[in-house]
Structure 1
C-alpha cells in the first residue's frame, strides 16, 4: 500500500503544527519520522490513522482518498508507546480483539480467529504467554502483544508511535532488530515515529527529519549525517559547534582555522557558518595558535578537550592514543583542523550583524 501526502497543513488554534507536508511512502517500505518534540511527527501519524484531520492537503493510499474515510474504515494497525492493552483480557484475547469486534458480516469464525492468534503468538515468539494478563508481562513482552493485536487485522498500513519509548536501552535494542525482521517477513507498509536517531537509522529504509512542522530532509543515515540539508538538521545530528567563517572561492577561512582538508563548496563568497561535531576536529599544537586548551579529561579511550579563544568555548573529542593528542594539556595553544564539516551561507542566528562584517577585516589583518 503506497501512501501519498500532499501539501498537508494542520493548526491547533493559532499554532501551526504541519506547514505543507509532501511525502510518498512506497508499498512495503518502512519510513521513520524523526524529530524533536513539537516537530509535528505524531500529528502527521494521527492524520494517516484518521485520529486527527488536517486543515488542508491530500492523503491517498493506493489511489484512494483516505480523508473521506473514517478511522475504522482504513484498517490501520496502530502501536502506541504505552501499549494500550486491555488489562482484564489475556494475551490471546488482546490479540484477537480487532477481529472479534468487526461487524458480524465481516467477522471471521471463532476457529479462524483462534488459528490466527496462535499463528501470531508463535510468529512474535510469545506462544508461552498466551494465557497471561498484561500485568504479568515485562515491557518488551507487552509491546510484542500490542504489535500482535495490530497485525491480527492484517492492516493496510502499520503505524508505530514511539513504540519502544517506555523501555530500557537493552530491551529497545533487541526489539528494534526483532521489529525489522517482522517488517521484512510481513511486507507491510510502515510509518514509525521516533526522536531517537539510532532507532530511526537502524530500522528504517528512509528517514524523514522533521522540524517545526516541516520536512527538513529525507535520506538514509550516511546522507543525513554527512550532508545535512539545513542548519536545523546539522544541529539535530549533533553538529553543536558553530564557527563563523568567510567563504572565499569555495574555501572556509577564519583566524586559527586550517580548513585545507574540507572540499571546496559551490557557495557564494561572504560570511558563512561552519557546523562541526566534537569528533570532527583535530587540534594541532601551535605556540601562536588562536585557541587554548582550558580543560583536558580522559575516559581511557577518548581525550575530551575544551578549547577557548576568550569569546567561545568548544568541546573536542579525539582518540587518547592519536598522534595529535601528544602534548595536549591544559594551557597548550592550538589551531583547529576540521576533518569534515557542514557549511551554510550567512552568520549564525545569534551573531550580531556587525560580527559578520568584522570577520573579513580581521582576516585581512592576519
Structure 2
C-alpha cells in the first residue's frame, strides 16, 4: 500500500495553506511532517484523513482515489493532541468505539470486539485501566487509550497530530520510545505532525520539512540534520548563526574566520552565506582576531558566548564549560573556526545549496 500525493493545494479565502504538495509514503513507513505553526502540516493530515478537502490535486492509496471516499471509508486512525476521548465512556468502551459504529455489514460481532479490545489493552500495557474513565487517567495514559482506539479498526494509515504536545518533557520522551516500538510491532503506515525537531528525528524513518504551505525538504533524519537544503530548513534546524563570506576556489573567506575544517566545495566564486549551529563554532583566542566576546554565560554544562565581528556581524558559540579553554571572557578577541556548516550562494533566499561535511559526528554535537 503506497500513498501518493500529487500537486495538492488548499486555500482558505485568499490564503494558500498548501501550495502544490508532492509526497509518496510507502507501506509500513513512519513519516514525520515537521514545521512551524502555519506551515500547512495539520491541514495536509486532515485532508489525508477525510476531515478536509483540497481545492486541487490527487490523493491515491494503493492506486485508489481517496478523494472519492468519505472519511469513514478510508480506514484511517486519527490521534489528536488533546486525546478527544469520550468522558462518559470507560477505557474499554473508548477503545471499542470505532468498531461499534462500523456499518452493520462490516461490524464484528460483540465477542470479537471484546477480544480485540482485550488484545489492545494488553498490547498497550494498560489492561489495569480498562474500567476507568478518562478523568481518572494521566495524560500519558489517555494518549495510550487514544492510540488504542485508533488501532482498533486496523487502519490502513495511522495519523497523529502533535500527539505528545500536551505532555510534560519526561512523559513525551517515554512515549516517543513506546510509539516507535508500537509502530515496529504493528507495521502500520504512520504519518505524524510535530513542530519538535528532536521528536521527528527520534521517531521517523523519513522527515518532511514544511514551511509556508510547501515542502522544503524530504529525507532521513541524519541527512536533513547534516545537509539542510534551504535557508528556511537551516534556520528551523538550529543553524542560527549566519556569516557573510566569499567563495574563492571552493574555500570560504571572511575576516576572523578560519575555514580550514570545512571541505572544499565545487561552487562558483562570489558572495555567499555560511550557516552554522552555535555548537559547530570553536572560538580561538587571538589578539588580532576580528571577533570580540561581548558576553559569556554558563549554564552549568555549557558556556555560551556572544560575539561581535566586522560589519555588525553577531555570532553565538556554545561549547562544553569543562572544556576549559582559557581566555574566553568578555573583551577577549578571537577568531572563529567552524567545524561544520552549510553554504548558500548569493544573497537572501538562494535556491541552491552546497553541503559542508562535518569533521564531527552528529552524536558529538548533541
**SS state of the match for residue 321, structure 1?**
helix
Shift of 1:62: 0.6
Structure with bigger gyration radius: 1
Separation in structure 2 between the aligned mates of residue 297 and residue 144 of structure 1, nearest angstrom: 41
* Contact 1:296 1:306 (8 Å CA) reproduced: yes
Report the equivalent of 1:213.
213
Shift of 1:298: 2.0
Report the equivalent of 2:284.
284
- Residue deviations 1:42-82, cap 9 Å, x none? 01101100111111111010110101111111011000000
Q: TM-score, normalised by structure 1?
A: 0.93
Total equivalences in the alignment = 348
Report the equivalent of 2:99.
99
Separation in structure 1 between the aligned mates of residue 179 and residue 70 of structure 2, nearest angstrom: 28
Report the equivalent of 1:19.
19
Unaligned runs of 5+ in 2: 350-366
Report the equivalent of 2:146.
146
Separation in structure 2 between the aligned mates of residue 104 and residue 301 of structure 1, nearest angstrom: 61
Report the equivalent of 2:241.
241
TM alignment of 1:1-366, pairs within 5 A: 1-309=1-309, 311-322=312-323, 325-348=325-348
Unaligned runs of 5+ in 1: 350-366
Aligned Cα RMSD in Å?
1.2
- Residue deviations 1:12-31, cap 9 Å, x none? 11111111111110001110
- Runs (4 or more) in structure 1 with deviation over 6 Å come to none
**SS state of the match for residue 246, structure 2?**
strand
* Contact 1:244 1:348 (8 Å CA) reproduced: no
* Contact 2:243 2:313 (8 Å CA) reproduced: no
Shift of 1:336: 1.0
* Contact 1:95 1:145 (8 Å CA) reproduced: yes
Separation in structure 1 between the aligned mates of residue 46 and residue 300 of structure 2, nearest angstrom: 46
Shift of 1:271: 1.0
Q: TM-score, normalised by structure 2?
A: 0.93
